[in-house]
Structure 1
Amino acid sequence: MVLKTELCRFSGAKIYPGRGIRFVRSDSQVFLFANSKCKRYFHNRLKPSKLTWTAMYRKQHKKDIAQEAVKKRRRTTKKPYSRSIVGATLEVIQKKRTEKPEVRDAAREAALREIKERIKKTKDEKKAGFLSFPCEIREIVCTLVHLEGFVRIDWSSCVVFCISFHFYLSLSY
């Protein structure tokens, strides 16, 4: 079971449940004191930083150094080093790292060009599939696209799917 402890506003000591004195000022601010001594010093306007037994004094004069030294333990950082991974050996990684940016850019452009050509080829095939159908069927498909807006055409199986009305039209002729 965890007990909810509070701190004394004057001394900084822990106050366990059922202990301490609560003082409510006229501006509705609540002060909690560990004992009558702390309450008396507070009302007499003594500064907690002047009394050697308060937490504030001990903090200002660095009296709890032993506990802070334990917290300030340093971690050793591991230095990065290169090693081979599943896809590539160390030699391949080193070669890619030392390769000039011009060579890298040229390889990237070649790959992009190849991808664009592949996309263009598939678009041309789709267009050729559309143009191979008779004029009447092409007009029907174009009006469906114009009216519905979202129509999926599968040229391989000659089927038009209309998404908004959930029907499909077979383009067999």
Structure 2
Amino acid sequence: MKTLALFRHAKSDWSDARARDFDRPLNERGQRGARAMGGWIKATGRQFDRMIASPAVRAAETVEEASKAWGCTFKVEWDRRIYLASSATLIDVLKELEGEPDSVLMVGHNPGLEDLIFDLVPDDGSSPLRDVVEQKFPTATFAVIELDASRWADVTEGCGRLVELKRPRDLDPALGPQLID
């Protein structure tokens, strides 16, 4: 069995309309969300053999902020293919992992991460957490999927079970959506 954790980048800053999408940094709420999630991941005691991430600024800053709260730094493998990737591309990235790590943390973007959950976790009514993802997979959300695969090259659609899902607003309601009356 392999374990795949997915961490969507935190809330990004849209104030500079001229900035390239790739170069958008986190906004203040995003920094708080990434730190909150990093602290929560630390509290769970989860460990990862590898971290692969999109090199987009908002993903890199999410790793940086979460690592501060986590209390450690990670050797990150930056893979540009993760930036705005489809689920199929993300599965290819996983299939090409070398060294057969047991657990991998992938930091990336939607809709790819959300679609990856939909492709890996069967839609058979057995996963209440998958139903939550169908509503929304917000920024800075963390999910863990157990994969019925002995090698990363064996990862296929429907081979996963979503066992954990945490959104920033689950930790602090102020990190949730900003509702307008």
- Provide the TM-score with structure 1 as the length reference: 0.17
Q: Per residue, is there more helix in 1 or in 2?
A: 1
Q: Which has the larger radius of gyration?
A: 1
Q: Per residue, is there more strand in 1 or in 2?
A: 2
- Provide the TM-score with structure 2 as the length reference: 0.16
